[in-house]
């Protein structure tokens, strides 16, 4: 009769034949796995966290691997994604227990990044949008994100603006994020109407409107349609008008699909060094491009391509900050200069370094400029160039 040890030896031999790497890794107490793995420390920690949740391990190991994941650059959003997937594959009870165990970390990150923020879905007519709203007593700031992304674009800028005491609101544009199932975008005027409806729902009569790239195009359309509701404009890495090349990006996706748009988008958005490091903003941007539908991507690019504030900008008298970047490959410095020159009460600021995704790649510098702008408008001390 075979002994227990002989059975173990037989299983080890079978394992070695089936997967030599795992056999060596186990024999070397994990040293082979750790030194030869190609998935990277962050993914390794997140995968381990998922396995522990699946096994129902609610002890110290969960805390260990949450820390390992965050030490390797994982964000609270990515850890939340693991919990969300766990609820599907391991059942809600284990996911809920894991969420309770991880709750101190999630609350710490929430308090740091979204102080006193209520995350809620708001109905704006024909769809719902996700909103971050800190419900502060100060004058409202509305943050409008870039094309293909969502309200999380402002992840690192939001807490800095909240320090001003402003009521800071970030939301998802139609066709993006939680608003991805909305009827397809027609034009910038429709997006301006969506924002107006959001302000009505939030009982906000007037706000400072800050938009980046596509969000800047929406902000200009909103200010044109609702000047009385716009105390000031901050236009980040955006243009005064659209160009035919923008519509070509819609055609490219319709022809080749979204995966083919990833590399060009990242190269246009970030520096090569940042792409190589693959921090959260690059990972987030990559996945957003992959997950947006071709229809929503194409509609957004066509809406921005058709936008043109050339004739209307001169009539808008509110303070305008044109915030550009020296390394921006899209809203290049001459485009930002043209934008600033079109508004009669504007100031041009150019960041160096400054890229197209400045709110994510240079968040501290962006937050500093937006905070300064907000304070000068609050104090009625804004001075144009």
275-321 pLDDT tens trace: 999 999 999 999 999 999 999 999 999 999 999 999 999 999 999 99
Q: What is the pLDDT of residue 22?
A: 61
pTM of the model: 0.90
pLDDT confidence of residue 12? 54
| pLDDT value at 24 more than 70 | no
Mean pLDDT over residues 126-155, rounded?
Answer: 98
Query: CA distances (Å), 244 to each of 27, 230, 252, 356, in order?
Result: 61, 29, 13, 19
Q: Which residues contact 202 (CB under 8 A, 6 or more apart)?
A: 122, 131, 133, 140, 169
Write down the pLDDT at residue 7.
40
Domains recognised in the chain with CATH numbers: 20-113 (1.20.1290), 118-378 (3.40.50.1820)
Structure tokens at 323: 């915030």
Model pLDDT, residue 181: 96
Residue, of 297 and 64, whose pLDDT is higher: 297
The mean pLDDT value for 198-202 works out to 98
pLDDT recorded at residue 55: 86
Alpha-carbon 19 to chain mean position? 39
**Helix (H/G/I), strand (E/B), else coil: 230:** strand
CA distances from 225 to 72, 194, 313 (A): 46, 12, 11
Q: Using 50, 70 and 90 to split pLDDT, how confident is the model at 11?
A: low
Sign of CA dihedral 154, 155, 161, 165: positive
Instruction: Say which residue, 381 or 308, is predicted with more confidence.
Output: 308
Section 101-112 average pLDDT: 90
d(CA 234, CA 143): 9
Q: Answer whether residue 265 shows pLDDT above 80.
A: yes
Q: Tell me the pLDDT of the chain averaged across its residues.
A: 91
Nearest-angstrom CA–CA distance, 85 and 237? 35
Residue pair 144/221 in contact by the 8 Å Cβ criterion: no
């Amino acid at each position: 009769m075979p002994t227990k040890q002989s059975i173990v030896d037989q299983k080890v031999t079978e394992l070695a034949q089936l997967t030599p790497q795992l056999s060596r890794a186990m024999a070397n107490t994990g040293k082979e796995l750790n030194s030869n793995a190609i998935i990277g420390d962050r993914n390794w920690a997140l995968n381990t966290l998922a396995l522990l949740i699946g096994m129902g391990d609610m002890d110290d190991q969960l805390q260990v691997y949450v820390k390992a994941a965050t030490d390797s650059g994982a964000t609270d959003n990515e850890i939340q994604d693991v919990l969300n997937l766990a609820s599907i594959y391991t059942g809600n009870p284990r996911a809920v227990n894991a969420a309770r165990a991880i709750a101190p970390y999630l609350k710490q990150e929430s308090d740091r990044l979204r102080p006193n923020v209520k995350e809620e879905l708001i109905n704006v007519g024909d769809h719902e949008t996700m909103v971050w709203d800190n419900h502060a007593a100060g004058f409202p700031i509305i943050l409008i994100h870039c094309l293909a992304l969502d309200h999380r674009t402002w992840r690192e800028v939001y807490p800095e603006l909240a320090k001003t005491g402003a009521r800071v609101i970030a939301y998802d544009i139609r066709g993006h994020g939680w608003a991805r199932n909305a009827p397809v975008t027609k034009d910038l005027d429709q997006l301006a109407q969506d924002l107006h409806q959001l302000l009505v729902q939030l009982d906000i009569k007037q706000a400072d409107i800050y938009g980046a790239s596509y969000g800047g195009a929406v902000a200009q359309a909103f200010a044109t349609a609702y000047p009385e509701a716009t105390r000031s404009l901050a236009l980040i890495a955006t243009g005064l008008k659209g160009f035919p090349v923008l519509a070509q990006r819609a055609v490219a996706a319709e022809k080749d699909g979204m995966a083919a748009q990833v590399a060009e988008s990242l190269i246009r958005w970030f520096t090569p060094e940042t792409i190589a490091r693959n921090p959260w903003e690059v990972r987030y941007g990559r996945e957003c491009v992959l997950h947006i539908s071709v229809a929503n991507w194409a509609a957004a690019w066509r809406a921005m391509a058709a936008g043109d504030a050339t004739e209307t900008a001169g009539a808008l008298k509110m303070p305008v900050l044109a915030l550009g970047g020296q390394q921006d490959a899209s809203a290049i410095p001459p485009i930002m200069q043209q934008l600033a020159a079109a508004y009669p009460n504007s100031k041009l600021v150019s960041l160096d370094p400054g890229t197209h995704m400045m709110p994510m790649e240079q968040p501290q510098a962006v937050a500093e400029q937006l905070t300064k702008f907000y304070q000068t408008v609050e104090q009625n001390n804004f001075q144009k160039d």
